[in-house]
Amino acid sequence: MFELNPLLHENAWWQHLIMFVGAGVLGYIIGYRSGESKSFLQNQLSNLHSQLESCKASLVKSTPINTSTISIPTITNTYNTMVEKPDDLKKIEGIGPKIEELLNQNGILTFVQLSQASTHLLKQVLQEAGPRFQMHDPSTWPRQAELASAGKWQELEDWQDILNKGKE
């Protein structure tokens, strides 16, 4: 291991005594400082906790949006009959299978309906669907749907090449 008396001095006991006293003083200082910092940190923690509670108390409770009060216009074709076959909304940049399903559940089945939907309404639908859908930006969806409903596929494709996941 190690030698307590490496220089083989006969009276090395006083060196050992000095080391033990020094270690004791150093341990006392460290312990004293740790106790001070612990009480300081506890005070800071209690202050932060009280600030957190006051913030929680001042939060404004938001009421969820009731989708039954949102009206989506019913679209009819030129013969004044209901459109039965839904369009493939996934052709719109930024809309995948889950968002298409979500839009269909909220009454948006065709490109015409999507083109007439406001961006605010689309954002509300995404908000209500939860955090997984809230990150999507529907600001270009109505214009893309307008091009699709008019059959301007090349113009839509050219614009989609510029778009990044439905965003300009």
More confident residue, 13 or 123: 123
Looking at the structure, tell me whether residues 52 and 16 fall in a common domain: yes
- The range of the structural domain enclosing residue 142 comes to 67-162
The residue among 153, 161, 121, 154 whose CA lies nearest residue 139 is 121
Residue 71 has pLDDT above 60, yes or no: no
Name the domain boundary from 12, 31, 61: 61
- Together in a domain, 72 and 146: yes
pLDDT in tens, 110-165: 999 999 999 899 999 999 888 888 888 899 999 999 999 999 999 988 888 887 65
Does 167 map to a domain? no
Contacts of 166 (CB under 8 A, 6+ apart): 92, 93, 94, 95, 136, 137, 138, 139, 140, 141, 144
Q: Confirm whether 168 is domain-assigned.
A: no
Answer yes or no: do 41 and 122 share one domain.
Answer: no
Q: Which of 148, 146, 167, 168 is nearest to 157 (CA)?
A: 148
pLDDT greater than 90 at residue 26: yes
Is 93 within a domain? yes
Alpha-carbon torsion (133, 137, 141, 144), positive or negative = negative
- pTM attached to this predicted model: 0.49
Model pLDDT, residue 100: 92
What is the rounded distance in angstroms from the CA atom of residue 139 to the CA atom of residue 54? 37
| 98 part of a folded domain | yes
Domain total in the chain: 2
The answer to whether residues 90 and 148 belong to one domain is: yes
DSSP letter assigned to residue 10: T
- pLDDT above 60: residue 62: no
**Residue 64: per-residue pLDDT:** 57
| Per-residue pLDDT, 99 | 92
Q: Are residue 154 and residue 83 in the same domain, yes or no?
A: yes
Q: Are residues 142 and 96 in the same domain?
A: yes
- Whether 49 is covered by a domain: the verdict is yes
Please tell me whether residues 145 and 84 are part of one structural domain: yes
Give the whole-angstrom CA distance, residue 126 versus residue 152: 27
What's the confidence (pLDDT) of residue 77? 47
Per-residue model confidence (pLDDT) at position 25? 94
More confident residue, 81 or 32: 32
pLDDT at 5 over 50: yes
Looking at the fold, whether 18 and 73 belong to one and the same domain comes out as: no
3-state secondary structure of 167: strand
- 8 shares its domain with 89: no
Element (H, E) at 67: none
